[in-house]
Amino acid sequence: MIIDCHGHYTTTPPGVGRWRDAQVAAVTADPAHVGVKGAMAVTDDEIRQSLEGAQLKLQRARGSDLTIFSPRASWMGHHIGNEHTSRFWTEHQNELIRRVCDLYPANFAPVCQLPQSPGTPIQGSVAELERCVNEMGFIGANVNPDPTGGFWTGAPLWDRYWWPLWEKLCELDVPAMIHVSAACNEQFHTTGSHYLGADTTAVTQVLTSGFTRDFPNLRFIIPHGGGAVPYHWGRFRGMALDNSWDFDEAVSHLWFDTCVYHQAGIDLLVRVVPTSQILFGSEMVGAVRGIDPETGHHFDDTKRYIDAAPLTDAQRQAIFTDNVQRVFPRLQLPS
């Protein structure tokens, strides 16, 4: 059983983009625009079509079984509009993921996004998390550490602002993938510097604050192989020793996925990070969709790198299956 912990619905039918475009146009014209949730015109056939030639085809071709699936991260766009904008958009996106998982229960398991409009109380996100987990069977959430889209003017992850959300994640026993959305600050490229910088930032905030000691059951997935962290493992360990930060305690709350798109990167990841803290992920169909001319294979076909990495069969089994099940206890595997 090979479980991919990191997939987004990047190939949505046109009705999704049309709904969002109209919403963004309305709130651009009037920043106080509330609007209504309304309906998103997407048929089941369109959903099937959007997946059959993409994620489902690639699952079969690459030999993975199930993808933990969430709304397109770069489209979360928490910085756009006001709290109503993000709330209606988020509810639609999560309901769409539920439909995908109902159509293909053997292939996808649902993870939600949260409304997280900047400057609004975290309680709106807590409520949506509860709705998704308790009423719709979701098994995890994506949490954007920077809803401002690259300006980082909100509260750091250790701030009390976030605590009601951390408490709810622990209570529901679901993990959070710490995942930013598109950058609206032109200093940053969304999937290049913004994503990897945010991954590194999230780990550093956990390490330097030690706030996870207050949440023994809190589990964060750090995507994209952990940004710069595995490569700079020695720097972080050294800083921890210099400052009396508890490095091992921080790492015990963090899982790094394998969305690293070359063999040498994966080799380093599995050598440096304890196997117990690594989850298989590919983020297909995502940031890098082409074929590596050096290998003849897709950059994001990460299963190949794990297969070829210096790992025992038991370690591979942990990364492909067992660790994901531990981190996502609500995941029910198809029998």
Active-site residue, selected from the candidate residues 91, 95, 128, 283: 283
Which of 34-42, 69-77, 144-152, 226-234 is the region at the interface with Zn ion (rule: CB under 5 A)?
Answer: 69-77
Cβ-closest position to Zn ion: 73
Which three-class secondary structure state does DSSP give residue 148?
Answer: coil
Which three-class secondary structure state does DSSP give residue 186?
Answer: coil
Instruction: Let me know if 268 is exposed, middle or buried by CB neighbors in 10 A (0-12, 13-18, 19+).
Output: middle
Residue 69 CA to residue 66 CA, distance in Å, equals 9
List the interface residues with Zn ion, window 274-303 (CB under 5 A). 283
Minimum CB distance to Zn ion smaller for 16 or for 182:
182
Pairing of strands 108-112, 291-292: unpaired
User: Which helix (H) or strand (E) is 67 found in, with range?
Assistant: strand 66-71
Minimum CB distance to Zn ion smaller for 132 or for 177:
177
List the interface residues with Zn ion, window 231-270 (CB under 5 A). none
Please give the biggest Cα pair distance in the chain: 58
Which three-class secondary structure state does DSSP give residue 291?
Answer: strand
CB of 201 vs Zn ion, minimal distance in Å:
16
Given a contact cutoff of 8 angstroms between Cβ atoms, the answer to whether 257 and 222 are in contact is yes
Which of 67-75, 122-130, 144-152, 261-269 is the region at the interface with Zn ion (rule: CB under 5 A)?
Answer: 67-75
Residues 6+ apart with CB under 8 A from 206: 157, 158, 212, 220, 250, 253, 254
Q: How many residues bind Zn ion (CB under 5 A)?
A: 2
CB of 72 vs Zn ion, minimal distance in Å:
9
CB of 109 vs Zn ion, minimal distance in Å:
15
The answer to whether 73 contacts Zn ion (rule: CB under 5 A) is yes
Which three-class secondary structure state does DSSP give residue 300?
Answer: coil
CB of 281 vs Zn ion, minimal distance in Å:
8
Minimum CB distance to Zn ion smaller for 2 or for 221:
221
Minimum CB distance to Zn ion smaller for 140 or for 240:
140
Minimum CB distance to Zn ion smaller for 302 or for 315:
302
Active site residue 249: no
What are the residues binding Zn ion (CB under 5 A)?
73, 283
Instruction: Give catalytic residues, as residue numbers.
Output: 283
